[in-house]
Chain A
Amino acid sequence: MQKYALSSALTSNAVTLPPSRPGTSFHRIMRKLLLLVGVLLVVHVALLFAHPSGAEKPPAGNTVDVGVVFDLGGRGDKSFNDGAYLGAERAQKELGVRVRFIEPGEGSDRESGLRLLAAEGMDLVIGVGFIFTDDLTQLAKEYPTTKFAGVDYSVATDKDGKVIPPPSNLAALKFREEQGSYLVGALAALVGKSKKVGFVGGMDSPLIQKFEAGYEAGVHQVCPDCTVLAQYAGVTPEAFRNPGKGKEIALAQYQQGANVIFHASGSTGLGVFEAARQTNKLAIGVDADQYAEAPGYVLTSMVKGVDNAVYDAIKKTKDGTFTGGIYQYGLAEQGVGYIYDKNNAKLIPPDVHARLEQLRQDIVAGRISVPSTK
């Protein structure tokens, strides 16, 4: 503080007080700064040699090394990044593998993170999010002996619509979101009882339309004359981060007579929960169990088992059974599902739950096929 005051005084007096004359306040400040440099340098060098007793040495020994690169959203998104973290952490505890995490800061860090891990000789490198698709494909070709996995990896198709398979050392971990959405759609119609149910999507894109298509099919399965009020928060990725817009849409849908709204919209959904609390109606969460966001107002959540998929990929690598290709996680693989536990059991009548379980079995057995496009 002292230093700052002095130097302000200096600069405002500079016209009357030639600053270059030795012995002026300017020189005193520079000398002080020089002293400060010395002190900081000594402190820094001293601290460099500090070695806390708990300094972590990674467990030695011959085990499987796994690297995970998160999407830009990073950990704490309560969605697929956190899901991947949970799965990898579980593998670390139960399988004894070594896991390294990298959180990129900007676009070019995605490839860089994958590359750092691959160059270090990791056995399995996982990229979390569809945005890793290009980078994973390229690296899988450059490091043919390393195994790669991509959560939500988007599989390319050629001009005739035929699927171009990913490289043989790359596993595309994909989810049948429409199947889980189908079940919560049936639930929304059965619990809502008002012939109207709501859907709030994030960014209007094929991925989210998959949720809507399954949801609508589920609603119409149990209630053919029900209407689905479906709206999207926008057409840009920003639409996944707009709780205000989410609340606005949800309030309008509740007003129009919907008693239950399913959101697939990232943190925009926080606004949907807020609207449910305000109007004393129900909302359905997505990706992870979102009961805690609005206890009592969250009917259930359509969960996506990113953790299981990641755990599986790591386990297969450890067992030596890992192969590349497209992995679809649906109801049968418990890759998607809905939450039914002590928190929300009182919101879901037993006969409704029985009906849902019946539908689940029908889908798993292939008696019902759920559309993934509108």
Chain B
Amino acid sequence: MSAPDPTLMPVGDVPAPAAASITRPGASRRTQLEEAVLPPLVALLLAAVVGDVLILTFGQSPGAVYRLLLDGTWGNAYGFGQVLYKATTLVFTGLAVALGLRAGLFNIGAESQLAAGGFCAALIGLVLPAGFPALLCLPVYILAAAIGGGAVGAVPGVLKARFGAHEVIVTIMLNFIVLALLNYLTSTRLHVPDTLHTAEIRSGRLPRLADLWPAFQGSAANVVIVLAILAMVGLWWFLFRTRRGFELRAVGLQPHAAEYGGIDVGGVTWRALALSGAIAGIGGLNYVLGYKHYYEEGFATGAGFLGIAVALVGRSHPLGIGLAALLFATLSQGGLAVNALVPKQMVDVLQAVVILAVATSVPEVRRLLRMRRGGGDR
């Protein structure tokens, strides 16, 4: 495995389904671009048309609603700040899910991993004394959040590597267990009376964007967005420029071939899920360090599940994930802005249409589905 050359991957004796790789070997750049961009584009347009029809059934003008949606998000600094804030969390959960997908694993647990990361960071925040040097704080918080999320991610990873337990089932079930546990700890031990949140952390709060550019006044956007961008770059580097990343992608494309090539498939599996959980966990800092400075019950409800959509629409590529996160954040914040004209559920339906359309058109998903149907015994 010394020469990470992707063209070596689909060798002749590999079962046929594996040949549907993420970037088609030997395809021209234009073909690759078409394959990467067209399916999501179809999905988005389909969602837009369904949205038009829905808006018309509410007796509103689609043009007016979409304009209001854009005005309330990209049209003013506050709305844009909110989009950035929501996109920051979604980048982390999207990257987490994408890392799993690249390794052929479907991590449905980002929801609880995100919460666990935020919870651990808030716990550390309660322990660290006030006035702890800010420069030392940040790494400590990142480590705490990564350990929190990573531990939740490692459990399904180890269970899969050791016993072949299906990661989809385990991550879904762990969502319930972990969220209920955090819920219990918060509401019985750690909460401030009459609230659902812990006490505020005493040191290491991060500045909001509004502190740097006053135009963002009031919005929750904060400098954790820099961490999100670093995570995008870092994950790209890891996946496409390191040996570990290559091994991970090889396992994702064809585990049998990867094993034949000398890769420790079990090791890659549990490390991938643990790293995936750690990335989702760091996303919890967006709320805990940057926004409210405490852990609150359900602080990012749905952001973990939306991360799956972000990863799929973003084609599991860090750059695509950044764009998809902005899209879903825009829809989410825009939903509030147009709430006067159409019910909130309309935006939920739009999101669902995007997800469905992408899920049926993206090769990765079709490949995963086929693996489950065909040789699901790996």
Q: Which residues of A contact B (CB under 8 A)?
A: 4, 7-8, 11-15, 18-20, 26-27, 30, 33-34, 36-37, 40-41, 43-44, 47-52, 54-56, 58, 72, 74, 100-109, 111-113, 115-116, 119, 130-131, 133-134, 142, 154, 203, 205-207, 235-238
Contact = CB atoms under 8 A, between A and B. Distances in A.
B265 to A, nearest CB: 22
Given A107-B296, A235-B184, A19 B62 contact: no
Contacts of A108: 82, 85-86, 220, 287, 291, 299-300
A103 B49 contact: no
B333 interface: yes
A238 B186 CA distance: 13
A48 B42 contact: no
A116 B72 contact: yes
B296 to A, nearest CB: 6
A47 B52 contact: yes
Contacts of A101: 339-340
B250 to A, nearest CB: 17
Contacts of A50: 52, 56, 61-63
A218 B340 CA distance: 44
A102 B340 CA distance: 7
B282 to A, nearest CB: 17
Contact of B336 (A36, A112, A205): A112
Give the interface centre of B184, B187, B299 by most chain A CB atoms within 10 Å. B187
B67 to A, nearest CB: 9
Interface in B1-35: 10, 12, 14, 16-17, 19-20, 24, 26-28, 31, 34-35
Contact of B339 (A102, A111, A133): A102
Contacts of A55: 59-61, 64
A138 to B, nearest CB: 10
B336 A104 contact: yes
A14 to B, nearest CB: 4
B63 A19 contact: no
A203 B196 CA distance: 12
B303 interface: yes
Interface of B: 10, 12, 14, 16-17, 19-20, 24, 26-28, 31, 34-35, 38-39, 41-42, 45-46, 48-49, 52-53, 56, 59-64, 66, 72, 78, 82, 85-86, 180, 183-184, 187-188, 193-196, 218, 220, 287, 291, 296-303, 332-333, 335-337, 339-341, 343-344, 347-348, 360, 363, 366-367, 370
Contact of B63 (A20, A33, A48, A113): A48
B53 A47 contact: yes
A327 B218 CA distance: 28
A8 B49 CA distance: 26
A100 B342 CA distance: 11
A102 B10 contact: no
B188 A100 contact: no
A353 to B, nearest CB: 36
Nearest to B333: A112
A130 to B, nearest CB: 7
Contacts of B19: 11-12, 14-15
Given A33-B38, A40-B46, A43-B49, A105 B302 contact: yes
A33 B39 contact: yes
Nearest to A41: B45
A116 B339 CA distance: 11
A50 B56 CA distance: 8
Contact of B193 (A51, A107, A115, A206): A206
Contacts of A74: 344
Contacts of A105: 301-302, 332, 335-336, 344, 347-348
17 contacts: A11-B363, A11-B367, A33-B34, A33-B42, A36-B42, A44-B49, A52-B59, A72-B298, A102-B339, A103-B344, A106-B300, A107-B301, A108-B85, A115-B78, A131-B195, A131-B196, A207-B194
Given A33-B42, A112-B336, A44 B24 contact: no
A18 B26 CA distance: 8
A13 B64 contact: no
A20 B28 contact: yes
A236 B300 contact: no
Contacts of B53: 47
Give the interface centre of A8, A55, A235 by most chain B CB atoms within 10 Å. A55
Give the interface centre of B297, B335, B339 by most chain A CB atoms within 10 Å. B339
Given A20-B24, A112-B336, A107 B52 contact: no
Contact of B10 (A15, A54, A130): A15
Nearest to A119: B78
Contacts of B39: 33
B115 to A, nearest CB: 11
A65 to B, nearest CB: 11
Given A47-B52, A236-B183, A56 B60 contact: yes
A36 B40 CA distance: 12
B361 to A, nearest CB: 8
Contacts of B332: 105-106, 109
